[in-house]
Structure 1
């Protein structure tokens, strides 16, 4: 089903710590702040859906295999918001990120019923929310190179309303599916100011410290300082999330380029 394809990019939306690298011209002993709206052109691949619906606890219907590009996501999106906010003082770093997405779509799903193989027309309405809160500490600073360690908590909430038109009424006409969970993560972030106006940033992150079975993220970025208060940030990110709980499976890989515009104050 294409419904979960669109959920994924809301998630993942997942956390852009490269948005946290603040202007080197600011004074270290004062609070520095950043606000960054951004877009992640994420492709999504994996599986998601319900499980444990069969009489023996088996997967019925099975999770949906997903392979969706960014254009498919844009075509299905009704409302989307992605915003990162960060604060830094001396060696300490705090950041939060909020993502909200509403999507709607239609799909055809094949299934096996009492009379054999058939198909159903499905109308979907989906909403997804992700909230990240984290903090870090700079433990390496040499010339123009910095390294931070960080830790945080991610809250995810997915809700899906499905209307099904199947022959003979062999499937329920209305299904509400979804779940919410929290997960802890730790990571390392590096920043290298290789010229006056450009810096190279990397980030490696490991999750799975809460409700999620496993989670990983790798992120590289180029930050372009276009003026004293403005930056353009170009990044490429890979993210993996594997969750199963309360009748819902979400096992996805999300990857692709993105861009953000940052105001520093």
Structure 2
């Protein structure tokens, strides 16, 4: 198995810190994320579809890092989120006997910033809505390994950076004094073939006023032309983390 580094500093989409009258509240988390890669790439040899599933998710994950920081005052909050992941997926014997295997590698850095407004708050539901921006840098590579007919291996791909506007929403449901659920969604698009969206759903537990723990699932979809290839990339997997409120 490849060496895997799954690091998180300051967490991903942490829940708001407990209110302090008239002051700023902050929250930070440490998360572990195990994403798989689903890729649909239009190559010179045709459309390639491949997805990491089951036990090969860990084998194909080289590194994943996610970190965020939130500052909140009254009804307003600022949320910064950084995601880095490097992973791959493969497909056996695509396109007949010409190639034995096709591989897709993706190295993704995504930095998102949001301004959120608390539009609703009750004992049963908390809702935040807002706008944001996401900056991407993606290095995408596809490799076709020669098959039974011989010939050369072929590689395609490149890297690209771009920025998209986002709309976002977060919903927190307190189940009781300790247990709560959180859902976060965002969507951004600049044209029909350039878009991104993600969803995060977790269930959490408050140990006390300072510490809580969350576990759930995160999914992110990215569509863009990278290195001359039309690509649709999906990153998804379970997350678990601990949040500190201060």
TM-score, with length taken from structure 2: 0.77
Aligned mate of 1:242, from 195, 202, 223 = 223
What residue number does 2:3 align with?
Answer: none
Quick one: distance in 1 between partners of 2:55 and 2:174? 34
Paired residue for 2:117, among 113, 137, 141?
137
Mapped pair 1:100 → 2:84: yes
- Residues 167 and 187 in structure 2, CA contact (< 8 A), matched pair in contact too: yes
Corresponding position of 1:22: 16
What is the CA distance between 1:211 and its match in structure 2? Answer: 8.3
Q: Is the 8 A contact 1:42 1:70 kept in 2?
A: no
Moved more, 68-77 or 183-192: 68-77
2:82 touches 2:112 (CA, 8 Å); kept in 1?
A: yes
CA distance in 2, matches of 1:218, 1:80: 17
- The two structures, once aligned, show a CA RMSD in angstroms of 3.3
- Measured in 2, the distance between the counterparts of 1:263 and 1:35 equals 5
- What does residue 64 of structure 2 align with? 80
Q: Would the aligned equivalents of 1:182 and 1:211 in 2 still touch at CA under 8 Å?
A: no
1:173-210 deviations in Å (ceiling 9; x for gaps): x5443333222211221223232212222234332146
Identify the residue that residue 35 of structure 1 maps to in structure 2.
28
Q: How far 1:224 sits from its partner (Å)?
A: 1.0
* Aligned twin of 1:68: 52
- Unaligned regions of 5+ residues in structure 1, if any? 1-9, 52-58
> Aligned residues, how many?
234
User: How far is the alpha carbon of 1:247 from its aligned partner?
Assistant: 1.2
Tell whether 2:137 aligns with 1:157.
yes
Q: Which of 200, 205, 214 is equivalent to 1:224? A: 205
Do the aligned residues in 1 keep the contact of 2:51 with 2:89 (CA within 8 Å)?
no
Question: Given the two structures, how large is their TM-score scaled by the length of structure 1?
Answer: 0.72
Change (3 A) 1:164 1:253: closer
Match of 1:5 in 2: none
- Which structure dedicates a bigger proportion of its chain to helix? 1
Going from structure 1 to structure 2, the CA distance change for 1:139 and 1:123 (only over 3 Å counts) comes to closer
Deviation at 1:74, TM superposition (A): 1.7
**Greater strand share, 1 or 2?**
2
